[in-house]
Amino acid sequence: MKITHPPQQEGIAGKRGTQFTGTAFPYLTMNETDGVTINTVNFTPGARTYWHSHERGQILQVLAGRGLIQAEDGSVRVIRAGDTVWCPPGERHWHGASPESFMTHTAISLGKTSWEGAVDEAVYTSEASDDARITPA
């Protein structure tokens, strides 16, 4: 069993470039342990990851705000607080805040992460599909 207490976590203030467009505040919740890494990331409006994929997949749990996500072969989709996303092994994708909202998620990455280039502004600003379903009370 491994317990990581807050003083042992490695936050990074306002990271720009490398893996993000815009300003994102990644907080390393758990260093890689048995091929699993957990990060909580606060994205400012318009901030997003670069294209990337995960050797064994990734789980995203959206904690706050409104974000966008896209797999290479799909359209841009809206994600919001309460959503859980599964990105299968090897699926090239990106995710981040929408242009008008902050977004916070916890990312559970399985295996090696392969980082690529930035997401084109035209791709990021393309119309997003919103899969949310509202059921009348």
pLDDT digit string, tens, across residues 87-136: 999 999 999 999 999 999 999 999 999 999 999 999 999 888 887 654 44
pLDDT digits (tens, 9 = 90+) for 33-78: 899 999 999 999 999 999 999 999 999 999 999 999 999 999 999 9
Give domain status of residue 74, yes or no.
yes
- Per the structure, the complete domain to which residue 92 belongs is given by 26-124
pTM comes to 0.86
Give domain status of residue 78, yes or no.
yes
**Residue 121: CB partners within 8 Å, gap ≥ 6?**
none
Q: What is the C-alpha separation between 99 and 46, in angstroms, rounded?
A: 4
Q: For the chain, what is the domain count?
A: 1
CATH code of the domain in which 110 resides: 2.60.120.10
Q: Are 42 and 106 in contact (CB under 8 A)?
A: no
Q: Which residue has the tokens 């909202």?
A: 101
Give domain status of residue 2, yes or no.
no
Give domain status of residue 18, yes or no.
no
Which token pair is 61?
């749990």
Rounded to an integer, what is the distance from CA 4 to the centroid of its chain? 21
